[in-house]
Amino acid sequence: MIAHFGGALGALVGGGLSGWIVPLIAMLAKGNQSPAVRAEAVKALNFQIVWSVVTLIGWATACAVIGFVIIPIAALIAIIFGVIAGVKASNNEPYNYPLSINLIK
């Protein structure tokens, strides 16, 4: 649950770029002790990495007008789906992020 809500909070505070930090810390801290925590942290980490890269592309293209459209959309996607996943995790329901790529297994 911390990995999901922490990813959303990181995306909110970091302008869409730092949503991956809390899921990575959760995976490294408790991932070896609990397979369930590792599975949820990996899901959150993969999702937040993808949307951090999209936000980074938005920041890189901010000199062109398209960047100012990409940045808030990518940040909102990272925040909204992170909160949804956190709520599902608090209810012990499985949740698979949409629009995610499995970079870390």
pLDDT category of residue 103 using cuts at 50, 70 and 90: confident
pLDDT for position 42: 93
**Is the CB of residue 40 less than 8 Å from the CB of residue 31?**
no
Domain extent listing, the chain: 2-90
pLDDT for position 25: 93
pLDDT for position 62: 85
Alpha-carbon Rg for the chain in angstroms? 13
**pLDDT for 23-70, tens place per residue?**
999 999 988 898 888 999 999 999 999 999 999 999 899 888 888 899
